[in-house]
Amino acid sequence: MKLRKVDGLFVLFALAVIVGVSLLPTPKDRNPMIPADAVHQPITVEKDCLQCHVPAGSKPLPERHPRRQDCFRCHARQG
């Protein structure tokens, strides 16, 4: 089977799209990291984050923050 020039261009375009999508930043790349301080080091489950990051806590979440409780999915640890 003989490939035409248009077939080769299509394959190159498809590869360029795949490479381009794979280089897009992930949520963990854009979101703030969990600080590497004494307050945050012992935290191992997301529910512990809610001790401070609730509306009445010492460091409430911004209004536009999603109402989720899987913090480690978007926020990575430093170090």
Which 3 state secondary structure label does DSSP give 5? helix
| Distance set, CA 51 to CA 71, 72, 77, 79 (Å) | 13, 15, 18, 23
pLDDT digits (tens, 9 = 90+) for 15-49: 999 999 998 877 667 888 899 999 999 999 988 99
pTM score of the predicted model? 0.57
Q: In the structure encoding, which two tokens stand for residue 56, read together?
A: 């009445």
Which 3 state secondary structure label does DSSP give 77? strand
